[in-house]
Amino acid sequence: MPCSAVTLSLATITSIIAVALLAIAFTTDNWLYIDVKRTSIQNYLSKHSDAQSQALLESVNSKYYYYTRTKGLFRTCYPKEKPPTVKTYLSPLETHCNNINYYIPDENNDTRDFTDDAWTRLHMGRSMIALFIISFIAIFAAFCTGVTGCWRRSPGNITSTAILMLLACLLSAGAMGLWHAVEYYEKEKQVGDEYYQQWSTVLQDHTRVNYDWSYMVAWVGVGWSLVAAILFSGAAMCLRGEREREEAINMQYLMPVYPQKQQYAYAGYPVPQPQQQPYAGPYYTTGSAAYGPYNY
């Protein structure tokens, strides 16, 4: 089996896997799992009767960040208990969720009081979504060039497919980097009751934040897109080598033909003979032939 056929098949399979994984990660809501031990917090606060503990106990039953939740790129969902003060809706997975607001557009001018750190986090979040969308556009373009290259067995089209898959890999990796930057700002920079820096000590001690399966699927998708780009590049090299070998084999049958001066005899026509020169000896007439050369 030719090298190009094997490599193209592997590249196609890996690119399909990469697209599927990135699409699943992009649309699901399990990037972070924030596990809040509500029972432990309530038990701890119930043992203290001071005013601060009573205020925190009221927050436990009303504020959404005292509830276990999963967080994705577009939604925050509550797989266990739903906070009563937050307006939610049922997601396709039958989980109560609310949308993450990127303020596009900001109709009510809700961003007027944002700090510099809040604006930085917002811009990075918007850029993260944009990079993911552009990476999917690059993958769609790679699909078009890949189909054309396989149909025409064109090394140029397959090379373009490899470049587009590499571009998609870099864009999605950049989006993942921005997601980590947003996470860092929310944990270390952002100021507000709902962010980690302003959480009470009791909430911090009884909360565990872990990366969930959507996050892992996204990184695996980035890796597979890089593998697909490498395989498409190898397939282009194989196609180019096979085409050069075919051209070399075809050149062996192209022998030069030179015209030659030859005489050909055709059926029914005698071959022309060279004309004999006339004899230059003595001339005899009919009458003198009987008496020799002298006439007596």
User: What is the arithmetic mean of pLDDT over 35-62?
Assistant: 82
pTM given for the model: 0.78
Does residue 27 carry a pLDDT above 90? yes
Tell me, what's the pLDDT at 241? 76
Write down the pLDDT at residue 73.
94
4-29 mean pLDDT: 91
Distance of CA 276 to the CA centre of its chain: 88
What's the confidence (pLDDT) of residue 212?
93
- Confidence at residue 45, expressed as pLDDT on a 0 to 100 scale: 82
Q: Average pLDDT for residues 30-44, to the nearest whole number? A: 90
Alpha-carbon Rg for the chain, nearest whole angstrom, is 44
Pick the CATH number of 3-104+115-241 from 2.40.40.20, 3.40.50.10170, 1.20.140.150, 1.10.260.40: 1.20.140.150
Using one digit for the tens of pLDDT, what is the confidence trace for 227-263?
999 999 998 888 887 777 776 776 766 555 555 555 5
Domain assignments of the chain as residue spans, ordered by start: 3-104+115-241
Query: 283 or 138: which carries more pLDDT confidence?
Result: 138
* Parallel, antiparallel or unpaired: strands 89-90 and 69-71: unpaired
- 288 confidence band (pLDDT: 50, 70, 90): very low
In the predicted model, what is the mean pLDDT of the chain? 83
Judge whether residue 289 has pLDDT over 50.
no
